Amino acid sequence: MSIELIAASAAITLALVFYTLGVFSERRAGSLKLSHVLLFWAGLVCDTTGTTIMTNIAQTSGAAGFGIHAVSGLLAIILMLVHALWATFTYARRNERAERTFHTFSTLVWLLWLIPYIIGMLVGIPMIHLQTVCAVGTSVIVVALFAFLLFRRSGRHSH
């Protein structure tokens, strides 16, 4: 395994850690705090760094095309950027209604971000190494299960 691949994998895994900590600590706290905003930005920086390194590896190796993993990864980064910006503005304004909406959006962005993360893991880990179509289907099913569990649980707590 090359040092570039190790660095990219570590950066993207750090993005998962920062983003997950940010989203779930925000959900648990019930309000948006500066620490959450900083975790969202840290996740975005790590994901962008890892994705950039992975893109360079793919281009160097002569990988052709701009497949579903690349497209979903780019969309995930765009969503993370929108999410981090909205978190920053919501935190600065201290609007309670905006914060309630933000909590749901935050969870949705995290779930959508998981799709390319899981695709990359399923395609890239040699022991698993699923074909792209199978990896996409599997990642969507896994994320749908997470969504069902998260929103089912939050629905029970709201009554």
Neighbours of 60 (CB within 10 A): 10
Residues 137, 138, 139, 143: is their CA dihedral positive or negative? positive
How crowded is residue 52: how many other Cβ atoms within 10 Å of its Cβ? 13
User: How much of the chain is helix, strand and coil, in % rounded to 5?
Assistant: 85, 0, 15
Q: Residue 129: exposed, middle, or buried by beta-carbon count in 10 A (0-12, 13-18, 19+)?
A: exposed
Kindly report, residue by residue over 46-85, the tens digit of the pLDDT: 999 999 998 888 778 766 555 777 788 889 999 999 999 9
Count CB neighbours of 32 within 10 A.
23
DSSP symbol at 70: H
Tell me the per-residue pLDDT of 89-145, one tens digit each, with 9 for 90 and over. Answer: 999 998 778 787 888 899 999 999 999 999 888 887 777 777 778 888 888 999 999
pLDDT tens-digit map of 14-58: 999 999 999 999 989 888 999 999 999 999 999 999 999 988 887
Q: What's the whole-model pTM score? A: 0.83
